[in-house]
Amino acid sequence: MGKGSGFGKVILFGEHFVVHGLPGIVSAIDSTTDAEVKKTIGEISITDERRGAKGYVGEKKAQQLESIDRMLKAMGFEPKAVAFNIWLGGNLPGFSGLGASAASSVAIARAIADEFNLRLSDERINEIAYEAEKAYAGTPSGIDNTAATYGGLLWFKRNLNGANDIEKISLRQPVEIVIGSTGIVANTKAMVEDVAERKKKNPQKYGQIFKEAEKLAFTAKKALLEFDLKKVGELMNKNHSLLQEIEVSCKELDCLVDLALQQGAFGAKLTGGGGGGCMFALTPTKALQEKVAQAIEKAGHQVLRTKIGVEKL
């Protein structure tokens, strides 16, 4: 039996903007999707035991099957010529916005490689997972699968003409965060396409917003390197405002962001594609993390208590 794991992630800065070649900052969290693969005869079967938002597994089923097909082709297999049972579990919930699809793609790729005795580097696993992500996101930036593969805190810039620019950011220590789920299963592919369409129709407005987002990413990188968490929180709030301006937030996300800030979170913003999915709040110390988490739970939402800057599976 082959085994593999992939990190969940939160995008601290730059979601949507990274698709268009701007820099972003992403962090793995200390929650993973785990996969087991066992060769069999017949067809590929999937047992998905991940905890998730209502309807997540069902709504993503077709995309999941396509992703595995893409993955096998990228690994040199003829999809119809191989069969195996796939089990998915782990402590990363299947909430939209946490890179659940990328984490599962990395986990499955590693498990297949393990089962078939393929010695694949992390770089190769990342490439395979990127191909799989096309089933979920159309034209993915690559930021999710990169975080799922390597872990840690990463500066990411999509190079539209070649290899992506990836740089590790050294965080003094992992920091507590709270992730709150709206319970809405988001369609990342549709959200990305809608932003591109609005940008095309209003280039002047969106050009200015994109410039602000790029400047903000560089400022945030400096604050993270200096471990100035108050500044990081302020910049997160600004980033959320920019995402509201490009119309990817929603009232449920905005309510959760406001609630977290009212409870003392250093900063809060949506994470991922928007239109539902998740937000996260920067809550250094377990006491603040618990205070914010309980407030979100009391409001009727699922939460994940986790940390950013985690580097080991």
185: tokens are 């299963």
Residue with tokens 């620019």: 165
Active site residues: 144
Can you tell me the distance from the alpha carbon of 3 to that of 15, in angstroms, rounded to the nearest whole number?
A: 30
Q: Are 176 and 285 contacting, i.e. CB atoms less than 8 angstroms apart?
A: yes
The DSSP symbol for 5 reads: E
Compute φ and ψ for 51, nearest 5 degrees: -75, 135
Contacts of 267 (CB under 8 A, 6+ apart): 232, 233, 234, 235, 236, 237, 261, 281, 282
Distance CA 313, CA 305 (A): 17
- Give the integer Cα–Cα distance in Å for 209 and 265: 25
Report how far residue 75's alpha carbon sits from residue 127's, in angstroms, rounded to the nearest whole number.
10
Cβ contacts of 203 within 8 Å, gap of 6 or more? none
C-alpha span between 280 and 163 (Å, rounded): 29
What's the rounded Cα separation, in Å, for the pair 245 and 230?
23
Task: Please give the Cα distance from 143 to 26 (Å, whole number).
Answer: 7
CA–CA distance, 242 with 50 (Å, rounded to integer): 32
Determine the Cα–Cα distance for residues 91 and 129; give it in Å rounded to an integer: 20
